[in-house]
Amino acid sequence: MRPMFVEMHLLQNFALSNLNRDDTGAPKSCVFGGTRRARISSQCLKRAVRTYVREQALVPSELLSYRTKWLQRELANRLAAGGVEAEQAGQVAARALELLEFRLKNGRTEYLLMVGEREIARIADLCREHAAALQGGDGGRKSKKEGDNLAGLFLKALDGGDAVDIALFGRMIATHPEKNVDAAVQMAHAFSTNAIANEFDFYSAVDDLQQQDDDEGAGAGMLGTVLYNSSCYYRYANVDLRQLLTNLGGDPDRALTAVRAFLLGMVHAVPTGKRTNSAPQNPPALIMAVVREHGLWSLANAFVVPVSGARGNLMELSAKEMLAHWNQLSELYGQEGVQYAGLATYLSSDAIGASNAVGIAVEKRLADLVDRVLAEVQPALA
């Protein structure tokens, strides 16, 4: 297929929250345009999307993957569920991973593996089929050539497993670089359109059974502080449809399913950091999608100068700056290669200047925007 990309631009304003923490427990941040901004890492966002896609069954579970060090335990459990004695199942699974050159320590591989559900199922089937050989039941008579052939069978099973999330986000297997999958998705770190200064939440916890004559008296049972901020995030990602189709073995239906799951996951997935303390259920105010053949544009530079909520509605002002920057890029570079550009928002179209945005269709609902994007990309994937 010819080159084609789907880009997503989102503005999402979160109330007081700490969605993605650094090693000190503080909300992650960065300096952009000379000012401190709140940040959510791309890794955190991708994890949230993967989790949302699985939880909402946007893709059948057999077409998804697991990222784990506990592959031996998973294989052993599947073997045991099929009637293999537990100790034997563990030995067979360990030997299978040894043939795959995955070192085990305390039952875990030395690094996280991204393994498709179908890959795990095939490896488990091979374990059952060759259980005697894997346990050494051949009396040591198996030749090196036969052992190599068995290793080759297991390695062949490690083929990506048609996993949609692996096709989208890629994987790296250090032991077998030929099994790496190049990601179809580029995901930027989300950062705040506004400058931020973290706030401290000082809290105390009451011991319900503490009495006044206890050693600690009538004071709090625990004291602590947690850092939070409130920020309007600009989020950007794109998916290379040609790479996605390649990763999925040329299956156009599966690729279309992957695009839909990616679009919905980008909109609805929320990182889980401190969520029970802050309930950060604030959906995006604006979702913009672009289908194009070349010339990818992040609109991050719309916010080199931070937007100030002191001048008005932070979300509306951020949207206005973003669309103004789109117009700047359109005027300078033109829109050659842009097949479709549209947005859906609950903000006032007049307030954000949507009617003046060059070449952008304003859709009434998110569902309309998603349907339009899928309609644009489907012929190219076929």
Banded model confidence at residue 132, pLDDT cuts 50, 70, 90: confident
- What average pLDDT score do residues 67-77 get? 97
Tens digit of pLDDT for each residue in 303-326? 999 999 888 999 999 999 999 999
Sign of CA dihedral 56, 58, 62, 63: negative
- Rounded CA separation 316/298 (Å): 19
Residues 234/10, Cβ–Cβ less than 8 Å: yes
Q: What is the pLDDT of residues 270-282, one digit of tens each?
A: 999 888 888 889 9
**How does pLDDT run across 342-380, given as a tens digit for each residue?**
999 999 999 999 989 999 999 999 999 999 999 999 999
Least confident range of 32-41, 45-54, 218-227: 218-227
pLDDT for 143: 58
Higher-confidence residue of 48 and 214: namely: 48
What is the biggest distance separating any 2 CA atoms in the chain, rounded to whole angstroms?
A: 80
pLDDT of 140 over the 50 cut: no
The pair phi, psi for residue 114, each rounded to 5°, is -100, 110
pLDDT tens for 318-348 read: 999 999 999 999 999 999 999 999 999 999 9
183-203 confidence digits (pLDDT tens): 999 999 999 999 998 888 888
